Amino acid sequence: HQIYFPFKPYQCQNDYMNKIIEALKNNENALLESPTGTGKTLSLLCAALSWLKSERDKLIGKPSETPPKIIYTSRTHSQLAQVQKEMKNTAYKPRTVIIASRDHMCVNSSVNMNKGTALNAACRSSQKAINPCMYFKNRDMAQKRIPWEPLDIEDLHMYAKREAVCPYYGMKDRVAGADLVFMPYNYLIDEKIRENFKISFENAILIFDEGHNIP
């Protein structure tokens, strides 16, 4: 199985990637650890994405089959931003999406002065106002105006403000078409959040990075 790695891997990286491929090929769970500083995240991304590419290549011309995707979770958005930075060092170019709450995503200054449930309520009200939220009104344009490359929340805000589109709904709408979905792992574990984002786990690889933090 060919894995494109940005430099000659150390033996521990080879071992780590081989275990990932073995688990994916056998449809197994894997609990993997590697010492700090051994390029664990890069190894994890390169191995999982190489497998994803080979599986998706097999489905070319078979539109009825659900293509596999990777759901990559970590504890916080700042940890995910580090993973996305590593992603840019790989040879792989998957369509990526990052899922986050309105608290993280909202760029409407008259709405995002609120927090939590108050922000959710203000968002819904602004959609129905006489002059509705400009970003929400352009919701469908997010598909064309935001690139599929790995974008952290700061990048998304920049694009959203420049292109006048809603990053919260734009990312939500894109989940079904993504190869790789980034999110904090409570979004996966919490049933209500999971239902809100309508994330399908069919044929998905679930990665819990920094999994020792999960209670």
Find the helix or strand (DSSP H, E) in which 207 lies.
strand 204-208
| Nearest CA-CA partner of 69 in 204, 185, 202 | 204
So what's the pLDDT on residue 208? 94
Rounded mean pLDDT of 85-93?
Answer: 92
**Amino acid 193: pLDDT:** 85
Residue type present at position 176: A
What is the per-residue pLDDT for 211? 83
For the stretch 120-156, pLDDT in tens is 999 999 999 999 999 999 988 988 899 999 999 999 9
Q: Which residue has the tokens 């991304």?
A: 45
SS (H, E, C) 158-200: HHHHHHCCCHHHHHHHHHHHCCEEEEECHHHHCHHHHHHHCCC
